């Protein structure tokens, strides 16, 4: 399944947002700030009773930001949520 995320958040608060939610997948983001340093945490949730296999995320950051990405797990267990820093 390939998803193109909307530019607007589905549900948002000042520090967290649910970007996409379907009957299978939930994608959220959380912002954490300390002085001028910020961190975005991506949450991927499997709402299905079967594992999600061969999971991939392609993140294209702006050139002016310093980005350190962690790996996205290749499998998300059933009814589980994983965090990608």
For the entire predicted model, the pTM comes to 0.73
DSSP state of 24: S
pLDDT per position as a tens digit, 30-67: 888 888 778 888 899 999 999 999 998 887 878 887 78
CA distance 46 to 48: 5
pLDDT tier at 1, thresholds 50, 70, 90: low
CA dihedral 39, 85, 6, 27 (to 10 degrees): -130
Alpha helical stretches, state H, 10-83: none
User: What per-residue string of b and e applies to 3-42 under the rule 16 or more CB within 10 Å gives b?
Assistant: eeeeeeeeeeeeeebbbeeeeebbbbbeeeeeeeeeeeeb
What is the CATH code for 11-84? 2.60.40.1230
């Amino acid at each position: 399944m390939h998803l193109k995320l909307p530019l607007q958040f589905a549900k948002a608060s000042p520090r967290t947002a649910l970007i996409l939610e379907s009957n299978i997948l939930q994608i959220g983001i959380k912002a954490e700030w300390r002085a001028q340093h910020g961190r975005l945490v991506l949450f991927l949730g499997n709402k299905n009773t079967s594992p999600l296999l061969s999971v991939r995320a392609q993140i294209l950051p702006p050139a002016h930001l310093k980005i350190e990405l962690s790996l996205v797990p290749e499998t998300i267990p059933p009814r589980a949520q994983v965090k990608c820093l």
